Amino acid sequence: MTRGTQQRIRDAALGLLIAEGVPGFSIDEICRRSGIAKTTIYRHWPSVHDLLVDTVASQIEHLPTPDTGSLRSDLGVLFGQVMSMPEITGKRRMMLGLMQAATDDHELRNALNKLTRERSLPVRNLLQHARDRRELGHLPVGRTGVMTLEGTAVPT
């Protein structure tokens, strides 16, 4: 499959996700919107969940981890990067809809957990840098929630 074909499918999928949300997200409708055959889509994305997660992932900009020498400055830089992203409100709304749908769907929940862990990497790196510089007091070891800049709690 060419990159152009993949992009047409992702564009159709994104348009559908924005217009109809997760309940209206279907391969049949993506085929109709993109003009691409169902068999072509399934060769690249084995399930509708895979295409759903890939569509969202393709819209998320992966941010570098700032390392200015202080946690306060690092957070300021990262916050500025996030706030300068186009359409952050629409992306947040999409993620909230996906998270709601994932409460009853194990496969989608696993895929979104993987995506969320990847997306939270800059924040986790900032916190580790701050720990290494002894800017943070003792934090409990284990699974703790970290509030990302998008406002979504993610496990660490």
Residue 33 has pLDDT above 90, yes or no: yes
* Mean pLDDT, residues 27-40 taken together: 97
| Dist CA 41 CA 48 (whole Å) | 9
In a domain, 53, yes or no: no
Amino acid 156: pLDDT: 39
Q: Is the pLDDT of residue 40 over 90?
A: yes
DSSP class of 84: T
pLDDT-derived band at 86, boundaries 50, 70, 90: low
Cα distance between residue 152 and residue 116, in whole Å: 9
Domain assignment present for residue 52? The answer is no
Give pLDDT, residue 90: 66
Instruction: Return d(Cα 156, Cα 120) in angstroms, integer.
Output: 8
Range of the domain at 39: 3-47
Number of independent structural domains in the chain: 2
The amino acid sitting at 95 is M
Question: Closest Cα to residue 123, out of 105, 147, 91, 88?
Answer: 147
pLDDT at 144 over 50: no
Please indicate, yes or no, whether residues 34 and 65 belong to a single structural domain of this protein: no
Mean pLDDT, the chain, whole residue set: 81
Same domain, 101 and 32: no
Question: DSSP string covering 29-68, please?
Answer: HHHHHH---HHHHHHH-SSHHHHHHHHHHHHSPPPP---S
Residue 77 pLDDT greater than 70, yes or no = yes
My answer on whether 95 and 40 are in the same domain is no
**Percent share of the chain, pLDDT over 70:** 82
Report phi then psi at 69, rounded to 5: 110, -10
Q: Are residues 149 and 84 part of one domain?
A: yes
